[in-house]
C-alpha cells in the first residue's frame, strides 16, 4: 500500500527564498536572511504542509539540533497555540526504551547481569532467577527468552499495552483497565499475568521480531530486582536510572523523570500538552496522565535540550557506557529487523536513536556519528486517520534543517 509523502520541505524552502530577495527595504538593500530565519521558515513550511494535508491544526512542530559548531532550536505553532522552548517539558514516550537498554548494559559492565542469560537463569551472586518464579509469571516460552531478546524485540512477548487481549472487547489490557480507572496503579506482574492466563505470544523466542512494550516492562522488572539485591532494600528501575544515569554525581547529570506511581501524573512548568485526533472532528488534550502502565518502555519526560544531551553523550561514549557497550547497543542481531539493536535503531542520514508516540506526543532523538550531529524532533499532535503524514513530519524536518546546515539530508 502506498502512503502519501510530504512535499519536499527543501523545495518549499527554496521557493520562499526566491520570493524574499525581490522584497527591498526602503533603502533598496536586499533583505538578509539569517541562518535561524532559514530554519524557522523550513519548520513553518513543513508544519503548514501537514496541516493542509490532514485538514487539522498541528499545535507545534519543533527541532533542536547540535553540530560540532553550533546549537539551534526552532518551534512553529499553529493557530491558537504558542511555540514551546528548548526547556519545555514533554513526554518522550518510547525513547524511554533506550534508557532501559542503557541501564541494562551498564549493569552488565558492572558484572550484575549477562544479557545472554535466559530470564529464568539465576541472577549473578543470588539464589533468585531474573524474573519471579510465580504462577503469574509462567507465561509461554519463558525459559527460552534471553534478556537480549527482550531488548531487541525478538522474544515474541505479546504486547498487552498495544494489542487486543481476550476479554477486553477488542482493546488492549492497559487501555480498558485505565479507562475504567484512570488512577489504577499498574505493575509488571499483572500485565505479564495476561500472557499467562491467555497463553499469549507472537512466535517462539528468536524466530522473529515484533515490537513489544510488555517485553520492556519485563526488562524493567529485572533491573529493579537486580538493583534491590545489590542495595539490600526494595528498589525500582526508576531508582537505578536516577542513581546511575541522570542524577547528581553521574557523568552527565540531567533533568529527567520516569514516573512509576499512578499518582505522579503532572509535568513541571513549563510543559507541553499532547493532542490526539481520534477521528475527523474530535481533538483530545493530554496534559496530566497516569504512566504507571508504561514503565521502562514509555514513561519518561524531559526537555528537548536534555534529551539531546543524553543521546549525544551516550552514543559518543561520553556517558555511562563504554564504546564497546555503545556498539553493542547499535548492532542488530535480528535478521527480521537489521536496523534495530538494543533499544536503538538506525536511520540513514540521521544516525542512531529511537522514537516515541504516547498520549498526543511524538518525538525522535537521533545521533549521527559520521558528522557528529544530534537532533531532537517533537510534534504534539497525533492524527490516527493520517498517522504517516503526521509522524514523518519529524524526520522530514530533521532532514530539511540538516541540509540547510550543509549536512546530508533526506535519502533519495
Q: Is the pLDDT of residue 14 over 60?
A: no
The topology (CATH level 3) of 96-260 is Beta-lactamase (3.40.710)
Q: Is the pLDDT of residue 44 over 60?
A: yes
DSSP structure string for 259-271: --STT--PPPSSB
Separation of alpha carbons 55 and 383, rounded Å? 10
Sketch the domain layout of the chain as residue ranges: 1-95+261-294+298-412, 96-260
The topology (CATH level 3) of 1-95+261-294+298-412 is Beta-lactamase (3.40.710)
| Mean pLDDT, rounded, for 119-123 | 98
And the C-alpha cell for 107?
549493569
Separation of alpha carbons 165 and 408, rounded Å? 44
Over residues 254-270, the pLDDT tens digits come to 999 999 999 999 999 99
pLDDT of residue 172: 98
Q: In this structure, how many other beta carbons lie within 10 angstroms of the beta carbon of residue 274?
A: 23
| Mean pLDDT, rounded, for 316-337 | 93
Res. 168 pLDDT band, cuts 50 70 90? very high
| Mean pLDDT, rounded, for 232-245 | 98
Q: Is the pLDDT of residue 8 over 80?
A: no
Res. 301 pLDDT band, cuts 50 70 90? very high
| Mean pLDDT, rounded, for 71-77 | 98
Separation of alpha carbons 81 and 101, rounded Å? 35
Q: Is the pLDDT of residue 72 over 60?
A: yes
Give yes or no on whether 1-95+261-294+298-412 and 96-260 have one common fold.
yes
Over residues 130-145, the pLDDT tens digits come to 999 999 999 999 999 9
pLDDT of residue 327: 98
Query: What Cα–Cα distance (Å) separates residue 284 from each residue in 278, 290, 381?
Result: 8, 16, 10
DSSP 8-state symbol, 377? E
| CB 228 within 8 Å of CB 238 | no
Q: What is the CA 400 to chain-centroid distance, rounded?
A: 21
And the C-alpha cell for 305?
535540550
Residue 24, phi then psi, degrees to nearest 5:
-120, 150
Smallest CA-to-CA distance from 246 within 80, 91, 376, 106 is with: 106
Angle at 155 between CA 153 and CA 156, to 5 degrees: 95
Who's near 265: CB < 8 A, 6+ residues apart? 259, 288, 289, 290, 291
Res. 160 pLDDT band, cuts 50 70 90? very high
Residue 376, phi then psi, degrees to nearest 5:
-120, 125
Q: With a threshold of 0.85, does the pTM exceed it?
A: yes
Four-residue CA torsion sign, 376, 381, 383, 389: negative
| Mean pLDDT, rounded, for 86-114 | 98
pLDDT of residue 27: 57
Q: In this structure, how many other beta carbons lie within 10 angstroms of the beta carbon of residue 293?
A: 27
70 exposure class (CB count in 10 Å sphere: 0-12, 13-18, 19+): exposed
Query: What Cα–Cα distance (Å) separates residue 41 from each residue in 32, 184, 356?
Result: 14, 44, 25
Separation of alpha carbons 235 and 230, rounded Å? 9
pLDDT of residue 5: 42
User: How confident is the prediction for the chain on average, in pLDDT?
Assistant: 93
| CB 272 within 8 Å of CB 381 | no
pLDDT of residue 28: 62
Report the range of poorest mean pLDDT among 1-10, 165-174, 364-373.
1-10
Who's near 105: CB < 8 A, 6+ residues apart? 115, 321, 325, 328, 329, 342
| CB 192 within 8 Å of CB 138 | no
| Mean pLDDT, rounded, for 238-263 | 97
Q: Is the pLDDT of residue 16 over 50?
A: no
Say which residue the cell 507545534 belongs to.
60
Amino acid at each position: 500500500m502506498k502512503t502519501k509523502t510530504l512535499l519536499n520541505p527543501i523545495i518549499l524552502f527554496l521557493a520562499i527564498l526566491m520570493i524574499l530577495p525581490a522584497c527591498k527595504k526602503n533603502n533598496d538593500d536586499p533583505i538578509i536572511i539569517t541562518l535561524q530565519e532559514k530554519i524557522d521558515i523550513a519548520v513553518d513550511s513543513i508544519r503548514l504542509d501537514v496541516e493542509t494535508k490532514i485538514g487539522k491544526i498541528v499545535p507545534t512542530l519543533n527541532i533542536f539540533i547540535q553540530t560540532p559548531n553550533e546549537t539551534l532550536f526552532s518551534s512553529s505553532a499553529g493557530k491558537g497555540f504558542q511555540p514551546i522552548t528548548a526547556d519545555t517539558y514533554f513526554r518522550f514516550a518510547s525513547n524511554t526504551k533506550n534508557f532501559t537498554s542503557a541501564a541494562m548494559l551498564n549493569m552488565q559492565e558492572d558484572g550484575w547481569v549477562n544479557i545472554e542469560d535466559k530470564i529464568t537463569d539465576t541472577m549473578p551472586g543470588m539464589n533468585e532467577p531474573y524474573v519471579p518464579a510465580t504462577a503469574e509469571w509462567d507465561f509461554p516460552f519463558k525459559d527460552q527468552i534471553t534478556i537480549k531478546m527482550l531488548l531487541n524485540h525478538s522474544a515474541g512477548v505479546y504486547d498487552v499495552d498495544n494489542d487486543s487481549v481476550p476479554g477486553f472487547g477488542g482493546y488492549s489490557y492497559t487501555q480498558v483497565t485505565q479507562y475504567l480507572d484512570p488512577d489504577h496503579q499498574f505493575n509488571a506482574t499483572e500485565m505479564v499475568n495476561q500472557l499467562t492466563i491467555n497463553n499469549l505470544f507472537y512466535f517462539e523466542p528468536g524466530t522473529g521480531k515484533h515490537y513489544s512494550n510488555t517485553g520492556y516492562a519485563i526488562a524493567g522488572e529485572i533491573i529493579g530486582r537486580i538493583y534491590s539485591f545489590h542495595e539490600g532494600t526494595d528498589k525500582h528501575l526508576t531508582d537505578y536510572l536516577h542513581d546511575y544515569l541522570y542524577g547528581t554525581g553521574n557523568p552527565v547529570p540531567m533533568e529527567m523523570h520516569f514516573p512509576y506511581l499512578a499518582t505522579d501524573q503532572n509535568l513541571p512548568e513549563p510543559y507541553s500538552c499532547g493532542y490526539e485526533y481520534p477521528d475527523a472532528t474530535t481533538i483530545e488534550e493530554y496534559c496530566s496522565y497516569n504512566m504507571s502502565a508504561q514503565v521502562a518502555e514509555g514513561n519518561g519526560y524531559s526537555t528537548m535540550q536534555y534529551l539531546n544531551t543524553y543521546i549525544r553523550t551516550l552514543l559518543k561514549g561520553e556517558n555511562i557506557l563504554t564504546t564497546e557497550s555503545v556498539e553493542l547497543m547499535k548492532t542488530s542481531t535480528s535478521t527480521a529487523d537489521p536496523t534495530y539493536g538494543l533499544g536503538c535503531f538506525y536511520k540513514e542520514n540521521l544516525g542512531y536513536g529511537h522514537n516515541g508516540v504516547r498520549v498526543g506526543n511524538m518525538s525522535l532523538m537521533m545521533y549521527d556519528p559520521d558528522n557528529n550531529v544530534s537532533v531532537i524532533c517533537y510534534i504534539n499532535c497525533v492524527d490516527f486517520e493520517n498517522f504517516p503524514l503526521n509522524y514523518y513530519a519529524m524526520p522530514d524536518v530533521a532532514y530539511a534543517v540538516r541540509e540547510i546546515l550543509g549536512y546530508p539530508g533526506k535519502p533519495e
